[in-house]
Structure 1
Amino acid sequence: MKAWKKFSLMATVAAVALSACATDPMTGQVDRNNTVLGALGGAATCGIVGALTHGSKGARNSALACGAIGAGVGAYMDHQERQLRQSLANTQVEVNRVGDEIRLVMPESITFATGSYQLNSSASSSLNSVSSVLAQYTDTTINIVGHTDSTGSDAINEPLSRNRASAVANYLVSRNVASNRITTAGAGSRQPVASNNTVAGRAENRRVEITVNPIQR
């Protein structure tokens, strides 16, 4: 990056930081918003580093992520949830948020053919969107669990659910999500979310859930 660009970036960061200060009209003293300045401090530092390594786009992305961390874990997860909702808006992937946990529910209809653990094209498209966000927000753990309906025996459903979770995990890893952040499991038919007595209920139970949690430091 050219020297003048580096200087320009630092000047911009300084201007933004100053905007977090307000002058009391009665006393003439400058009051600081420590919460805002703390977040901006992290954003400024990371933004400069991002710019030096990846240009203006790197600055924007690094400042966003680090600024959110400065404001707290909740804000960090808020940014991640917002990006996931935006990128998955035109898919059938359900995005749920409980506290600091984000849960993505992928129905079988867009992930696997019946009885198969080979990802279909719809799953690949959705997982591309998921991975692009998860790869950016690295301070999280990712737990992937496969689920089936009650049709068939445990001898079939258990390995099928495990293999489906592994297939999703392997795809995320192939898209630059670190493998050491990911755990997988197969629940078979043990955790239904709807009645297995109806076609609609069984379809709802056949799913893969991706649960994203912040790393506790």
Structure 2
Amino acid sequence: MRTIQKFAWTLVLGSFLATGCKSLNKTQKGAGIGAAGGAVVGGVIGRAAGNTAMGAILGAAVGGTAGAVIGRRMDKQAEEMKQVMGDAEVRREGEGIVVNFKEKVLFGFNEAALGASAKSNLDKLKNVLDKYPDTNIQIIGHTDDKGTDNYNQQLSERRAQAAVAYLRSQGIASGRLTATGKGESDPVAANTSEEGRGQNRRVEFVITANQQMVEDAKKEAGR
């Protein structure tokens, strides 16, 4: 059985890496992961791809019919976010949502303090999160490669923690929120130009199902 499972995981991993996950629709992603081992396979794929946000989503994936139910609920939440989050990119990925704020939306260059504009943007996000309490939110801070590795790591952590602290102060339950700093280790563009460095200076909000949503989705899938 272990040999069969290992072979299945290898096939799924190879498929995801070969296609970059882009050729599969949301339901296929969830069902494929579920068939080959759920969160374990998801975590491996995410780490191999080098994308922290995608790794978090795949690592939390349920897969199968329940995963498809979660995906439909996330579709609704993402659409509402797109309507109100004018200054942020909102993406549906697998069984989750990624909200990507560029540095200029939440923080000044080389800063981790939230200004009035940043709080206004987080208020918009908070209003949607309030309507969907059965989700977890991981906040991931990133930087470009200017400065030392240690400094950038600390800056990314401070930014993520500042966003968590603000959302908590506005009534989002602490148990839903986690902060992670990735420093300069997870770029989305080359750090060889100001445009590329600007893309890498970002804060991502990764929204996934909590245990209550998972249980509800399993019940619905079993009807």
TM-score, normalization: structure 1?
0.64
Partner of 1:170: 165
Identity of paired residues, percent? 39
- Structure (1 or 2) with the larger CA radius of gyration: 1
Residue 115 in structure 1 maps to residue 102 in structure 2: no
Partner of 1:75: 72
How far did 1:210 drift?
0.3
Residue type at the aligned position of 1:164: R
- Cα shift readout 1:155-212 (whole Å, capped 9, x = no counterpart): 2111110000000111111222111011111000000000100000000000000000
**Contact 1:132–1:175 at 8 Å: present in 2 too?**
no
Partner of 1:12: none
Residue type at the aligned position of 1:104: V
The runs of 5 or more residues in structure 2 that have no matched partner are 1-65, 216-223
2:209 is aligned, of 188, 195, 214, to 214
How far did 1:94 drift?
0.6
Residue 143 in structure 1 maps to residue 138 in structure 2: yes
Distance 2:79 2:171 in 1: 20
Map 1:190-209 onto structure 2 (within 5 A).
190-209=185-204
> What secondary structure is seen at the aligned counterpart in 1 of 2:131?
coil
Map 1:74-93 onto structure 2 (within 5 A).
74-88=71-85, 90-91=86-87, 93=88
Map 1:13-92 onto structure 2 (within 5 A).
72-88=69-85, 90-91=86-87
**Contact 2:75–2:92 at 8 Å: present in 1 too?**
no
TM-score, normalization: structure 2?
0.63
Runs of 4+ in 1 over 6 A off after TM superposition: none
Distance 1:194 1:184 in 2: 22
Distance 1:209 1:85 in 2: 15
